[in-house]
């Protein structure tokens, strides 16, 4: 089977059933969906008797330390570390839209690569592509896969999966929240998980440094002077260095999105060497940002997407902001 082949849940289940060794990974700068999905697979596959490791291509925020097994996540940040990992039968990627987002973990020697994701922009880079765009989170895809492997849903597994759905639906505020979301989440709650405690851990565990980063974002928040429905935060490398990089940029992009009248929000973060900018984008329907991210080599969802663009902050702003203005205008034209 070659990369790009379309396959089904049963094919991924067969590959994992026959595997003895498995490495789970997720994308660079991992979030609640990638971490929750990866830990769910680590836990479930070990219950099936597999030898499993969770390898992450960059540091993981301590905000997820409340999840059982967090301490077992291994950071594999460069080629030398990847080369030292024993070959595995299956490498399973969670929540990564393309191979580049796997960082050094993509180099871990494997026989089969399962690309497990739910993003519509996924490039189908795996040997087996388990890309279910109907899943609200990658955790939903994991749960559907584990059902085929006959792994029972217990409280610990539900804690991981609940983290994924809370994160990727924006606490059930994003447009991907449906009746299915609540039916699925109800099954998790029925296991006895303490949803309120998980929500508190994901929300009320900010350090003083985290709040300093948030203040930096507020200081740089602007409403576009040409398009009042567009607002965002652009952070120069020097300003980030002055405060210090956080473990997790979290939901800073939600700050401009929370403004009354905002429809499209962005966060731009200039790299230390000023050679590139990481762009996160959010929008409310019918406004879309997924196409903008794709145009600049990124991806994600229609209303939540991101990309990394070469150039310094001024150069990237000159590219991204006009593109977002055009998206605002296009949404209005289509609505007429």
Whole-angstrom distance, CA of residue 285 vs CA of residue 254: 15
Element (H, E) at 300: strand 299-300
Q: Look up the CATH number of domain 208-335.
A: 3.10.310.30
pLDDT value for 142: 98
Question: 156-180 burial, b if ≥16 CB within 10 A, otherwise e?
Answer: bbbbbbbbbbbbbbbeeebebbeee
Whole-angstrom distance, CA of residue 101 vs CA of residue 29: 9
Q: How does pLDDT run across 124-175, given as a tens digit for each residue?
A: 999 999 999 999 999 999 999 999 999 999 999 999 999 999 999 999 988 8
| Helical residues (DSSP H) of 234-312, grouped into ranges | 237-243, 254-257, 290-295
pLDDT value for 3: 43
Whole-angstrom distance, CA of residue 273 vs CA of residue 228: 32
pLDDT value for 331: 80
DSSP notation for 132-175 = -TT-SSHHHHHHHHHHHTT----HHHHHHHHHHHHHHTTTTTST
Task: Look up tokens 């690309």; give the residue.
Answer: 115
pLDDT value for 4: 42
- Residue 56 and residue 25 in contact, taking contact as beta carbons nearer than 8 Å: yes
Which long-range contacts (C-beta less than 8 Å, at least 24 apart) are formed by 298-303? 298/97, 298/121, 299/97, 299/98, 299/119, 299/121, 299/122, 299/123, 300/97, 300/119, 300/121, 301/119, 301/120, 301/121, 301/176, 302/120, 303/174, 303/175, 303/176
Q: Which residues of the chain have pLDDT under 50?
A: 1-6
Parts of the chain belonging to CATH 3.10.310.30: 208-335
| Positive or negative torsion for Cα 18, 21, 27, 29 | positive
pLDDT value for 332: 66
To the question of domain 9-203 being in CATH 3.90.1640.10, the answer is yes
Q: How does pLDDT run across 68-113, given as a tens digit for each residue?
A: 999 999 999 999 999 999 999 999 999 999 999 999 999 999 999 9
Q: Both ends of the chain: CA-CA distance in Å?
A: 47
The DSSP call for residue 86 is: P
Report yes or no on whether pTM surpasses 0.75.
Answer: yes
pLDDT value for 246: 86
Parts of the chain belonging to CATH 3.90.1640.10: 9-203
């Amino acid at each position: 089977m070659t990369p790009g082949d379309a396959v089904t849940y049963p094919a991924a289940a067969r590959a994992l059933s026959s595997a003895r060794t498995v490495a789970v990974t997720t994308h660079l700068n991992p979030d609640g969906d990638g971490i929750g999905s990866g830990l769910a697979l680590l836990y479930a596959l070990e219950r099936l008797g597999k030898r499993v490791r969770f390898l992450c291509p960059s540091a993981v925020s301590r905000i997820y330390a409340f999840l059982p097994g967090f301490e077992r996540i291994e950071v594999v940040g460069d080629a030398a570390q990847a080369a030292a990992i024993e070959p595995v039968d299956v490498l399973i990627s969670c929540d990564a839209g393309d191979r580049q987002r796997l960082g050094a973990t993509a180099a871990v020697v494997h026989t089969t690569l399962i690309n497990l994701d739910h993003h519509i922009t996924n490039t189908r880079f795996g040997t087996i592509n388990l890309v279910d765009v109907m899943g609200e989170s990658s955790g939903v895809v994991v749960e559907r896969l584990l059902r085929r492997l006959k792994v029972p849903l217990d409280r610990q597994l539900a804690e991981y999966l609940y983290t994924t759905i809370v994160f990727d639906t924006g606490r059930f505020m994003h447009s991907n929240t449906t009746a299915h979301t609540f039916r699925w989440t109800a099954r998790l709650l029925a296991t006895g998980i303490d949803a309120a405690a998980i929500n508190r851990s994901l929300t009320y565990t900010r350090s003083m440094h985290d709040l300093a980063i948030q203040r930096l974002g507020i200081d740089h928040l602007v409403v576009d002077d040409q398009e009042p429905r567009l607002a965002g935060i652009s952070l120069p490398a020097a300003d980030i260095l002055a405060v210090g990089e956080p473990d997790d940029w979290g939901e800073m992009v939600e700050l401009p999105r929370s403004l009354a009248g905002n429809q499209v929000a962005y966060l731009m973060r200039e790299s230390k060497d000023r050679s590139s900018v990481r762009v996160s984008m959010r929008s409310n329907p019918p406004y879309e940002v997924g196409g903008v991210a794709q145009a600049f080599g990124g991806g994600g969802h229609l209303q939540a997407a991101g990309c990394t663009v070469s150039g310094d902050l001024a150069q990237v702003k000159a590219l991204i902001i006009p593109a977002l203005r055009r998206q605002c205008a296009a949404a209005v034209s289509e609505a007429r």
